[in-house]
Amino acid sequence: MCGIVGFTNYNEVMSNNEVRNVIENMNNKMARRGPDEEGCYINKRIAMAHKRLIVIDPDGGKQPMSFNYQGNNYVITYNGQIYNSKELRTILLDNGFKFDGHSDTEVLLKAFVFYGFDVVKHLNGIFAFAIWNIKKEELFLARDHFGVKPLYYSIKNKEIIFSSEIKALFEFPSIYPIIDEQGISELFGIGPAHTPGVIPFKGIKELKPATYIVFNKNYMVEEKYWKLESKKHNDDFETTCQKVEHLLKDSIERQLISDVPICTFLSGGLDSSIITKYTVDYYQKKETYKLNTFSVDYKDNNKNFQKTDFQPNTDADYIDFISNKLGTNHRVVTIDTPELVNSLKDAVIARDMPGMADVDSSLLLFCKKVKKYATVAISGECADEIFAGYPWFFREDALNSQTFPWSLNLDNRQQLLNQSINKKIKLKDYVDIKYNESLDEVEFFGGDTIETIEKKRISYLTMNWFMQTLLDRTDRMAMYSGLEVRVPFCDYRIAEYLWNIPWEMKAYKGREKGLLRYIMKDKLPEMIVQRKKSPYPKTWNPNYLSKVKSILTDIMNDSQAPIKYILNSDEIWKLINTSGKDYTKPWFGQLMTGPQLIAYLIQVNIWLEIYKPQIEI
């Protein structure tokens, strides 16, 4: 995995020296994404640069990479991994292409030359890349099916500037951090999620998943190349199970290709156990290899844990059981409260946004420790979105909420805004618009039952909103330490097939992920297969609440704290003095209650201090 940046220079406003200084400054802002190597390409119309994390073909995968074909030259800067690289390579060889190395970068570049813009329809992987066509003086930008890899851009003076991370864009001379009404609505109405394609900074966009852009001095075209399509599901239950198992096994095995050490995240839940089981099986066929697995925990969590509807038990016993059963070399990363709180700032820097508070900083610290042993990790992320694992797929209050079911407390969010902003911005109106726009995108098959239609709606929202938040989190927190995390459940082929499976099959016997449990009933121990879903763990240490309350108190006592220009001080003091007791139910997701809201507001203040945005409201 890597970081990419670039910009066009059609107007030749900058000199060669200025272009080089700007592109190098942009590239250096992403040093953590690619600690192993860097490269730069500049000509009179384009500047592109790359920070590399070496995973495959150290010598043959250097970037930016160029390829001369039939009198034209193409240059690529690319972040990601193409999992069907082997098949594409065979097709290209059969059509007269030759290869200098075995990197997927070279395959991707030559596949673009062969397929043109349709190359994205032939890719299975996670990717964000830019390809410059020298003869046409044209730039092609593309992002993977679910946006696992990030890509942001801004258009200034008929030039396009792009980057893997937002912070790099601010190194470009005419791009400044500005927040308007939409930005505030995103931060406090949608946050820590965000509307696909939209970020709080005015004038900066996210390239949407499954989308490409063609940009030259005359026009820009933006096209969506893939979407979920509803059609009749013709397979019976056993055939469905066989196909899902094949797709899942194939996806996992494709993602085990690497020239550097691989590990898995193991929580003792169904999803991570499936990933670990197939990974162990794969390596045992090839060599004697004891897989490294990792889990996260918190100091004194065993003493302070409180059972909830969303987190019914702790992970430790399940992890020990399945690790011993599969024969992995397991390590527990234990995080203490001070480092968890102190890393809230690093999590903001990594994400360029206020995020999921300690859930972010925990993952950041976890990945930092894992990086000491591996460069690539395989995660069970996205199984709950694809296979219907979240409680809101089954809870009537969530299904009937007429809003995003992971973010139900909109009235409380509105009260956080100060009086002046409160008059101008109505968060519920903004969220309602985004919610209904998203539902309008859902397609149904004429034969879908009423229940299947209902579940497709919430499934679509979950995959295109909640899952995006978790994918953002995973990429930024992991890449901050130069760790690549792969997500086999997020294979678009699995999502396509699961999308059309009737609800009574998907939720077999009325269980969350019922179909997946049935498929794994003879492959994993019953203790694991039947375990109720438990999310990524949070700290239950009361010291955490005390610490974040203390920090937010200091912020509110600081007359210059930027958050005070946006939020209602009375409401924040109430939040502090009541320890967030009005937020005993999650205000976002499954785990983010009062302490996490306090931490989120700390992150908002940190974000405002670091990026110093101009407020235009």
Catalytic residues: 2
352 Cα distance to chain centroid: 13
User: Contact 175/156 with Cβ under 8 angstroms?
Assistant: yes
Q: What is the DSSP letter of 96?
A: T
What is the rounded CA–CA span in Å between residue 404 and residue 579?
A: 25
8 Å CB contact between 63 and 52? yes
- Please, is 603 exposed, middle or buried when counting C-beta atoms within 10 Å of its C-beta (0-12, 13-18, 19+)? buried
H helix count then E strand count, the chain:
26, 19
Supply φ then ψ for residue 222, to 5 degrees.
-120, 125
Computed from CA positions of residues 353, 356, 357, 359, in that sequence, does the dihedral angle turn out positive or negative?
negative
Strand partners, 295: 332
Query: Residue 558 in 3-state DSSP?
Result: coil
Long-range Cβ contact pairs of 231-240 (< 8 A, separation 24 or more):
231/445, 231/500, 232/445, 232/447, 232/500, 233/500, 233/501, 233/502, 233/505, 237/505, 237/508, 240/501, 240/505, 240/515
In the 3-class helix/strand/coil scheme, how is 390-448 assigned residue by residue?
CHHHCCHHHHCCCCCCCCCCHHHHHHCECHHHHHHCCHHHHHHHHHHHHHHCCCCCCCC
Six token digits for residue 273: 């156990």
Distance CA 400, CA 432 (A): 14
